Amino acid sequence: MRGADDRLRTRMLPRPEVRREYDKLEEEFALFDEFLKARRESGMSQAEVARKIGTTQSAIARLESPAGKHSPSLATLRRYAEAMGYRVEIRLVKKEEAGQRGSQAKSGKRARSRRRVSARQLIVKD
């Protein structure tokens, strides 16, 4: 069964202006999706996570919301993850420059592939 967010994405993403803005926030959305998936897999409600880390359910709702109004600290993300049996893992990955990729392909040099950080790498089950 598809959720309301899937239906909305299917309807809105074909619009070029929506797609551009969505793509700008793709990694952020992926991270928030990972938060929700981790909490679902832990079988905990927002209220249960909140009690476990000493905050309110509304604070957990803000943490899980991609609204962009809240930038949690690393300490908060760690407490959130630990409450559900996860740990936070952060990696820095060098951006691949588009021009460099094209010039390497034209010159016959094999372009090195670079992995993008996925949200799954940020919250890891212990």
Instruction: Indicate whether this model's pTM tops 0.85.
Output: no
Domain segments of the chain as ranges: 4-125
Per-residue tokens: 118: 């996925």
Q: d(Cα 15, Cα 8) in Å, to the nearest integer?
A: 12
* CA atoms of 29 and 27, how far apart (whole Å): 5
pLDDT tens digit at each of 126 positions of the chain: 457 777 887 888 899 988 888 787 887 788 888 989 999 999 999 999 999 999 999 999 999 887 767 788 999 999 999 999 999 998 888 887 554 544 444 444 433 333 444 444 456 566
Q: Give the span between the Cα atoms of 70 and 79, in whole angstroms.
A: 16
Are residues 64 and 35 in contact, defined by beta-carbon separation less than 8 angstroms?
yes
Contact (Cβ atoms closer than 8 angstroms) between residue 93 and residue 117: yes
User: Residue 91: which H helix or E strand, with range?
Assistant: none
Architecture in CATH of 4-125: Orthogonal Bundle (1.10)
Query: Tokens 């309807």 sit at which residue?
Result: 11
